[in-house]
Amino acid sequence: MVDEVVGGATPRDDHEYAVVVRGLTKSYGSVKAVGGVDFHIARGEVFALLGPNGAGKTTTVEILEGFRQRDGGEVSVLGHDPGNPQSKLRDLLGIVLQSTAVDPYLTVEEMIGMFAHFFPHPRPVGEVIELVGLSAERTTRVVKLSGGQQRRLDVAIALAGDPELLFLDEPTTGFDPSARRGAWEVVRNLAALGKTVLLTTHYMDEAQYLADRVAVIASGRIVAEGTPATLGGRDHARPRVRFRLPAGILPPAELVAETDAEGFSAFATEDLTLGLHTLTNWALDNAVVIEGLEIIRPTLEDIYLQLTGGVTARDPDLPVDPVVEGSR
């Protein structure tokens, strides 16, 4: 992982960054798709843009890719303005679109070779095929590949030109868990090669696993930016301790625990060691059996849902997820 660049910091020199976006706006008719977006991506960084459908993710990415013209703001991609069709930017980009786009009648090798030819300094086709794990399908026609394999070919095509910057728009949507793991390894390999990656995704575990930094976009604006561990004050959120006591027994009053309809009690604490100590000491002293003890912290998904106005199924007030499971 690359050293963290603190979110919101103003870049001193745009050339330190692969991508700089300032005050980006874009409307379709009267609909404001992007309403003033700012972010930057350091060279070699894996940056994830998260957000619900219609939040402006794809519009933002497509402006950076050069598919859309912006209405306002400053955009620099590898030092180029993607809105200028004359720039040599496309020699430096690898683009994986949201939906797989491959020619059904060519083979894996031909498809990658075809795109490699468009670039001034392509990566050897065999190397690209190996990188995405399609060596066994080298001479297979695209139409005979599985959906996951076609998507990996999609990534391979984006790598054919040995790009500096790779755009991955929801690369693993529709994958089964093992195919997703495989795709993640591909992205990790790319990061290890020093490539800059801009990833958009719906999957928080994907962002957590792959991204050095994430930004959450909602209704055309960035609502939070940070590392997966610190996004939205996640690292500062107080952990909660949740447990169940036998019927009729109340937890010690000093813990200020609340008990829900299922009989589970929970309290939040600044000092987890002290809180746990108080609880377990009290239980031992009074010979009370504590069931289902767990320490819960907000996951990236909880923070994401809070930021984007979603609601978790478990607890709308303080979204939680088990980190440590107690005795059952």
Binding residues for another protein, rule: CB under 8 A, are 65-67, 88, 90-91, 93, 95, 97, 99-106, 110, 114-115, 117-120, 141, 157, 161
Nearer to another protein, 157 or 283 (CB): 157
Nearest CB to another protein, comparing residues 118 and 323: 118
Give the relative orientation of helices 177-192 and 147-159 as an angle to the nearest 10 degrees: 10
In angstroms, give the least distance from the CB of 94 to another protein: 9
DSSP β-ladder status, 213-218 and 72-77: unpaired
User: H helices of the chain, where?
Assistant: 57-65, 108-116, 125-131, 147-159, 177-192, 204-210, 272-285, 300-307
Per the listing, tokens 């609601």 go with: 311
Residue number, 7 or 82, with CB nearest to another protein? 82
Residue 281 to residues 126, 276, 285, 289: CA-CA distances in angstroms? 63, 8, 6, 12
In angstroms, give the least distance from the CB of 130 to another protein. Answer: 22
Distance CA 240, CA 258 (A): 11
Pick between residue 106 and residue 255 the one whose CB is nearest to another protein: 106
Token pair, residue 11, equals: 């870049």
CA distance 168 to 64: 12
Nearest distance, CB of residue 78 and another protein, angstroms: 14
Taking the complex as a whole, the smallest distance from the CB of residue 102 to another protein amounts, in Å, to 7
Q: Copy the structure tokens of residue 248.
A: 């009729």
Cα dist from 218 to 51, 52, 203, 210, 221, whole Å: 6, 7, 15, 21, 5
Question: Closer CB to another protein, residue 144 or residue 314?
Answer: 144
Nearer of residues 17 and 115 to another protein, judged by Cβ: 115
CB 92 within 8 A of CB 165: yes
Choice between 81 and 315, CB closer to another protein: 81
User: In angstroms, what is the minimal distance from the CB of 85 to another protein?
Assistant: 9
CB of 167 to another protein, least distance (A): 9
Other beta carbons less than 10 A from residue 101's beta carbon? 11
